Structure 1
Amino acid sequence: MITKNDLTEYFFQGIKSKHDMRIGVEHEKFILNKNSLMPITYDEKNGIKDILQKFVSLGWTPSYDDNEETIIALKKGKEAITLEPGGQIELSGAPLDNLHETCEETTNHLMEVKSLSEEFNFILLGMGVEPNLTVDDFPWMPKQRYSIMKKYMMQVGTLGHHMMKRTCTNQVNIDYCSEDDMIDKFRLMLNLESIATAIFSNSPFDQGSISKYKSLRSHFWHHTDQDRTGLIPFVFNKGFNFEKYTDYALNVPMYFVTRKNKYIDMTKYTFKDYLEGRSTDIKYEVTIKDWEDHLTTLFPQARLKQYLEIRSMDACNWDLICSQPAFWIGILYDTEIMDSVKNICEGWTKEDREYLNKNVPVQGLQTEFKSKKIINLAQEFYELSKKGLIKRERLSKNGEFDETIHMKGLEDNLQNGCSPADCLINKFNTTWGRSTKPIYKELIF
């Protein structure tokens, strides 16, 4: 019989030695019909299902939803390709040793998907929000999980469907080597999450026009589901540990449990209800797999599983996908650099973090904070991250480059004082003639 201690022990089992800490990246992209620029549906000719079946012929192993016909995911080694609710495709990368390997993995994945684009007549776009389409333009993917989420989102927020179907993100997964290390990294992630939002903001358009946001995607998240999103301020409380995160997760409403490939709606109950036998119409015995599944349905800006995951960044184009993990690894995998960042963030309050989380999606790098602009802090953190990467001394295969090579796109942006969103807005107002259509020529993968 599973107990609360077992659920907390799950996090302890994620502890790695300092020599075994790895890097994981997850990146999403829109897949659109090359001619109509509309999302591709699941069952149409040359649609999502046909594309996934082509991957199977290339050596990927399929996963099915509720039958042997509906492919919803693919696996090869420790890499996985999954479907987001509106047909966005996500690569969940393998845990790798260095940024050269993660960038090579990203390149190989994008090249493999692009190699199918002529046959299946699609383009790939990496942005935080698709710049022209409405929420109703996107289909729903045939996943039982999303059927439950779709219904529940209508009850708890106003923009949940927009988040599910209109957005893409890139995420970075970070290991911890002790409970204390987890606490330090978690707090730094939550202090810097808005800085990263500003640096990589890449969703300024809404249905063909400039919105009032640099990261419209972040705005959608603010209106999705308050029970499971946001800044989880208890992480900064004295005494925070694995058990306290367990307490948090126990009290968040569930989405589902799975049995024999069937998803059972559990939205009436918290995991605590389920654990303590109060889900009277559900008679299943609680499993660790139920807990693992539940943890994937919590969506704070940074979250804990058997590793830490930063979730605050818009999806970006090719040259910045590798900069996103580089920024975080340079800071979080060197204790001296972590201490330097902690010193900068010393005294930041819950109200400070909430201010940044609210204002950065609108003003981006120009957000005023403590007598500075975020661009100044971003440049400061960039320099520290770069120093951390140099200290790691991880060289490319030919021995020519260290990991700072993957910061080049980010460095150029910060030197120019702009985010991807700022660059897009400038092009929209000048060379693009107030049109978003050039995006589908200039910014596709």
Structure 2
Amino acid sequence: MHRRGKGTIVAAGPPTEEVVTDTKMLTKADLVEYMKKGCKPKENWRIGTEHEKFGFKFEDKRRLNYEEIHQLLEALADRFGWERVFENNKLIALKQSGQSITLEPGGQFELSGAPLSTLHQTCGEVNSHLYQVKTVCEEMGAGFLGLGFDPKWSIEDIPIMPKGRYKLMKEYMPRVGSHGRDMMFRTCTVQVNLDFDTERDMINKMRVGLALQPIATALFANSPFTEGKPNGYLSFRSQIWKDVDPHRTGMLPFVFDDDFGFEKYVDYALNVAMYFVYRKKGYVDALGLDFKDFMAGKLSALPGEYPTINDWENHLTTIFPEVRLKRYIEMRGADNGCVDLILGQSAMWVGLLYDEESLQGCLDLISDWTTGEMQMLRDKVPVTGLRTPFRDGMVRHVAQDVLKLAREGLERRGFNEAEFLKGLEDIARKGVTSADVLLDKYHNEWDEDVDRVYDEFLY
């Protein structure tokens, strides 16, 4: 893991590992204290934007294999000065100036951005990255596509990247859900990572983030195809997360309990089964084992050994709720899409959560929402998107209210950032998402040929 200035922490390559030099037991209080250290004064708050994309060959639209991605990584390192990151002598990531480029299981290419102060800096970072990637890819006869779900290929058609944790996860996923491998190999998302200054601020942001995550899913819906045909969803990426692993995904209703705080999140994370432990530059299979046993020195995979705080940090990366708490907060409910929407996702959450008046406006908006209503939205939005009925209106109307709060928050920040909301505001006003546009083109312009998406929605 790499500290990104005064902002968030991201993974670039293998997990961090500490040499175990004693047998001191890690206590729950240590884990809670680790989370508390995420609190930062407002002047140190930053914006960390992450986005994934599908690489493909122009000639036949097939996904890039590792050899081709290795060629791309090498060219980016040579031409643009990125530092190489290896696992077992395999080039699997790049890092530079607080940014990292990493590979998801099926070769989805992810930029985890540096901790930045303004959305204008985020805009420069995203466009610089896409320029570099496009420059190299075109020479390879390849390109990148920004959708939430692979529109054409089956899991069997997609190569697995040479990262140890992915091999473990691929074998484990079918034991706990029917869509785990879909999530690993066929999804792409965009997320923003944001800071908090106190436990109370964290609680407020977690509650707003979870309540409004289905609204974000509706606005960013962009995954209506599976294996060449419409799949019946606007956000199939969101739908598959409902059956990946119920113990490590979902809406986290306990966040709305009166006693929620860092300790209760730690309790939740401790009750999520482990995936692995990273030792001696390799992954130790801990699938299904209990972190609490590890803390007591009774982990069957490493008997007599105790975890370090880095093991806890790594464990937190294997939990996948709609909003994830580490020493920062990750908003995880959006399909990837065009550049305007990558920037719009960060803009929306910055406007809502980094301005006190807008944050309070969100808390007022959701104050009488029940956890049952939130779960209903989570269940229905992947199918009906902005047209999902909610109380006396539709999700589209809630989205308009939310974006108004976001715009006001950005305007009060004083950086002239509200322009980054225009694409989202247009979607909410018209009620037409990227998925709706794709489906219309598929039926009316593309003669039901999904290959056309690779030409028209290329980065």
Bin for the TM-score computed over the shorter chain: over 0.9
- Partners of 2:451 and 2:160 lie apart in 1 by 25
Structure 2 unmatched runs, 5+: 1-23
1:440 maps to a residue whose letter is: Y
1:34 equivalent to 2:58? Answer yes
Correspondence for 1:6 among 8, 30, 33: 30
- Partners of 2:265 and 2:107 lie apart in 1 by 32
Q: TM-score, normalised by structure 2?
A: 0.93
Correspondence for 1:352 among 373, 377, 387: 373
* Structure 1 residue 434: Cα displacement: 2.3
- Partners of 1:374 and 1:173 lie apart in 2 by 24
Q: 2:285·2:301 contact (CA, 8 Å) conserved in 1?
A: no
1:206 equivalent to 2:226? Answer yes
Deviates more, 1:286-295 or 1:335-344: 335-344
* Structure 1 residue 440: Cα displacement: 1.1
Structure 1 unmatched runs, 5+: 395-401
Counterparts of 1:42-441 in structure 2, within 5 Å, are 42-43=66-67, 47-57=68-78, 58-66=80-88, 68=89, 70-283=90-303, 284-394=305-415, 402-441=416-455
* Structure 1 residue 278: Cα displacement: 2.4
Q: Deviations over 1:265-295 (max 9, x none)?
A: 1113121121122213413331111011100
Q: Deviations over 1:285-334 (max 9, x none)?
A: 31111011100000000010110001110011122111010011111011
- Partners of 1:180 and 1:131 lie apart in 2 by 42
- Aligned partner of 1:398 in structure 2 is none
Indicate the percent of aligned positions where both proteins have the same amino acid.
Answer: 45
Q: 2:193·2:328 contact (CA, 8 Å) conserved in 1?
A: yes
- Partners of 2:342 and 2:409 lie apart in 1 by 19
DSSP-derived class of the 1:116 partner: helix
1:16 equivalent to 2:40? Answer yes
* Structure 1 residue 244: Cα displacement: 0.7
2:152 maps to a residue whose letter is: N
Q: Deviations over 1:91-133 (max 9, x none)?
A: 0001110111111110111111001012222110010001111
- Aligned partner of 1:397 in structure 2 is none
* Structure 1 residue 432: Cα displacement: 2.1
* Aligned residue pairs, count: 433
- Partners of 1:340 and 1:281 lie apart in 2 by 48
2:188 maps to a residue whose letter is: C
- Partners of 2:259 and 2:396 lie apart in 1 by 33
- Partners of 2:394 and 2:288 lie apart in 1 by 44
Q: TM-score, normalised by structure 1?
A: 0.96
| Coordinate RMSD, CA, aligned | 1.1
1:49 maps to a residue whose letter is: H
- Partners of 2:410 and 2:288 lie apart in 1 by 46
1:417 maps to a residue whose letter is: G
- Partners of 1:341 and 1:350 lie apart in 2 by 16
Q: 2:76·2:136 contact (CA, 8 Å) conserved in 1?
A: no
* Structure 1 residue 431: Cα displacement: 2.0
